[in-house]
Chains A and B, each alone.
Chain A
């Protein structure tokens, strides 16, 4: 048994799922051009979906991921269409509103499933490599994340990704060639939210599921997006994995609380020390 190596491997698996969340957030920032604070709640939603399914005897990650994806997509499209799209140009409403949605979910989860953490079994080991256990959730998470992010990168560089890129970079052009810009926006919001929920469903066996579990992934993916921008899918993946790894390691070596605190410190430092770097995002421009 090699506990440190185990933590590292699990950190990589965890980080790769965080990359899914971060990629979704990056898409929202780039296409809908808002900072979405409800993103962590969709992650929690996915985890709770997996939990509810497991209480009914369904434990296969694909099932959990599928249910989470569909539910979150529906919610995401609803939220995007009814709230985010109309209020895009009001930063206060978006920030506080998306936070409101996150808190709404946290309170609802607390009422429905109680404030204490619950968990799904981590599942039997799939393989054991020199004292390190590889479980199903880890392998599936890594695979899913790589597939989705590769797919995203391919999509964006192909013809099919053109509508998304146009809405992100040249809004007026997109509108003038007849694209339904609003629809692209809320569909993107829906897909990104679904990705976060899938991440939650896949990661559910490995974490303790509690109402406020979405806060850490939110901060983490915000760090990734603020630090690496929206264009570079590869950078997003690497940074998310790196942060997931660090987060796991610090939780193991110090305490789980300190990993949250260190993530929060990182984002504060990022925001304070590089305001010029933030002008690269669509929100930083003055005129």
Chain B
């Protein structure tokens, strides 16, 4: 399977704290890969490095065969590599529809280089809103949405660039069962219908078992285990394995 995303030897320190100590990770086309680890293992830092929010001290990242190690986050978005944030930061003064419009203005058009008419843009916005179930709330101020809806808005933002890979950072945590189920269905539809690959970050092993083809477990900034999600239960460290607390 050709690698869509490949990270080699990623190291990152903050001052004297070495958070990532040499991580190798890959996601293939059409794969759903889970990233598992306890809090403090470096999952979010890794997500930040892979998405381009910060750059690694050492190591290289390839996307579709091209090196992107020092390409900034907005360029990665336009190239089809996008991410959601664990704590969504909605625009304080924009409505839901406006928030999606921003992403659509900058996402796909940058890649394809052709401009669309306002009509086409609006149609795409509405299609994204329908897909993520946000159409009824489209005129709401984004900051007034519930947690579940904010996560869906994160999804809406992410799929606006016709992504090839979405990094989901703890997107299911602290959600109601209903919201979780809806989000999971959305993920499956994106995967099944559009062939989007995912890197799903979570500290919840049951979730990863259910959704991923393959799981990578990191501990203390290093890859501790990698294998099929069905085998995840065998790896789980004895202490704190079923500790789902934040």
What residues of chain B lie closer than 8 Å to A172, measured between beta carbons?
A: none
Residue numbers in A under 8 Å from B54 (CB-CB): 286-287
Main SS of the interface on chain B? loop
- With the chains together, A159 CA to B53 CA distance in Å? 38
Chain B, range 48-100, C-beta contacts under 8 Å to A: 48, 53-54
Q: Which A99-135 residues sit within 8 Å CB-CB of chain B? A: none
Docked CA distance A287–B44 (Å):
11
Report the nearest A residue to B15, measured CB to CB: A280
Which B residues from 18 to 64 make CB contacts under 8 A with A?
48, 53-54
- In the complex, chain B residues whose CB is within 8 Å of the CB of A286: 53-54
Give the residue name and chain of the A residue nearest to B44 (CB): A287
Q: Which residue of the partner chain B has the closest CB to A280?
A: B15
B residues 134-160 in Cβ contact with A at 8 Å: none
Residues from 269 to 287 in A contacting B, C-beta threshold 8 Å: 286-287
A36 to B53, CA, bound (A): 28
Minimum C-beta distance from B14 to chain A (A): 10
Report the bound CA distance from A286 to B54 in whole Å. 9
**Taking CB as reference atom, which chain A residue is nearest B89?**
A287
* Residues of A contacting B48 in the complex (Cβ-Cβ under 8 angstroms): 287
The distance from the CB of B106 to the nearest CB of chain A, in whole angstroms, is: 19
Residue of A nearest to B48 (CB): A287
Chain B interface size, under 10 / 10 to 19 / 20 to 34 / 35 or more: under 10
Chain A window 246-287, contacts with chain B (Cβ cutoff 8 Å), 1 for yes, 0 for no: 000000000000000000000000000000000000000011
Tell me the dominant secondary structure on chain A's binding face. Answer: loop
- Taking CB atoms, residues of chain B closer than 8 Å to A287 are 48, 53-54
How far in angstroms is the closest Cβ of chain B from A230? 15
Query: Chain B: which residue is nearest A286 at the CB level?
Result: B53
Give min CB distance, B191 to chain A, whole Å: 28
Fill in one digit per residue for A213-252: 1 if any B CB lies within 8 Å of its CB, else 0: 0000000000000000000000000000000000000000
Shortest beta-carbon distance, B109 to chain A, in Å? 25
Cα A287 to Cα B47 in complex, Å, equals 13
Cα A286 to Cα B48 in complex, Å, equals 11
Residues of A within 8 A of B53 (CB): 286-287
Distance (whole angstroms) from the CB of B117 to the closest CB of chain A: 35
Assembled-state Cα–Cα distance A287/B48 (Å): 10
Task: Report the separation of the CA atoms of residues A269 and B48 in the bound assembly, to the nearest whole angstrom.
Answer: 30
Complex CA distance for A287 and B54, rounded to whole angstroms: 10
Distance of A287 Cα from B12 Cα, bound (Å): 15
Q: How far is the CB of A279 from chain B (nearest CB, A)?
A: 10
Q: What's the minimum C-beta distance from B154 to chain A, rounded to whole angstroms? A: 16
How far is the CB of B167 from the nearest CB of chain A, in Å?
Answer: 15
Q: Which residue from chain B places its CB closest to the CB of A287 in the assembled complex?
A: B53
User: How far does the Cβ of B15 sit from chain A's closest Cβ, in whole Å?
Assistant: 10
A287 and B53 CA atoms in complex are apart in Å by 9
How far is A287 from B52 in the complex, measured between Cα atoms in Å?
13
Q: How far is the CA of A287 from the CA of B14 in the complex (A)?
A: 13
CA distance A12 to B17 in the complex (A): 40
Encode contact with A along B205-234: 1 for CB under 8 Å, 0 otherwise: 000000000000000000000000000000
CA–CA, A286 to B53, complex, Å? 9
Give the CA-CA distance A66 to B48 in the complex, in Å. 51
Q: How far is the CA of A127 from the CA of B43 in the complex (A)?
A: 66
- Bound together, the chains give a CA A215 to CA B54 distance in angstroms of 36
A287 to B89, CA, bound (A): 11
The CA-CA distance from A286 to B51 in the complex, in Å, is: 14
Q: How far is the CB of A232 from chain B (nearest CB, A)?
A: 15
- Taken together as a complex, chains A and B put the C-alpha atoms of A243 and B41 apart, in Å, by 45
A287–B83 Cα distance when bound, in Å, is 15
A76 to chain B: closest CB distance in Å?
A: 31
A286 to B55, CA, bound (A): 13
Q: Once bound together, how far apart are the Cα atoms of A218 and B48, in whole Å? A: 37
Q: How far is the CB of B156 from chain A (nearest CB, A)?
A: 22
Give A163 Cβ to nearest chain B Cβ, in Å: 22
Q: For the complex, give the distance between the alpha carbons of A36 and B137 in Å.
A: 41
- Nearest-CB distance from A120 to chain B (Å)? 47
Shortest CB–CB separation between residue A30 and chain B, in angstroms? Answer: 16
Chain A 49-89 interface 0/1 with B at a Cβ cutoff of 8 Å (1 = within)? 00000000000000000000000000000000000000000
Smallest CB separation, A3 vs chain B (Å) = 48
CB distance from A92 to the nearest CB of B (A): 13
Complex CA gap A286/B52 in Å reads 12
Interface string of A23-42 (1 = CB under 8 A from B): 00000000000000000000
Minimal beta-carbon separation of B73 from chain A (angstroms)? 10
**Closest CB-CB distance, A192 to chain B, in whole Å?**
26
User: Could you tell me the distance in whole angstroms from the C-beta of B93 to the nearest C-beta in chain A?
Assistant: 13
Q: How far is the CA of A271 from the CA of B54 in the complex (A)?
A: 21
Least Cβ distance of A165 to chain B in Å?
16
Q: List 5 contacting pairs A-B, 8 Å CB cutoff, sorted by A.
A: A286-B53, A286-B54, A287-B48, A287-B53, A287-B54
For the complex of A and B, the 5 pairs showing the least CB-CB separation, nearest first, are A287-B53, A286-B53, A287-B48, A286-B54, A287-B54
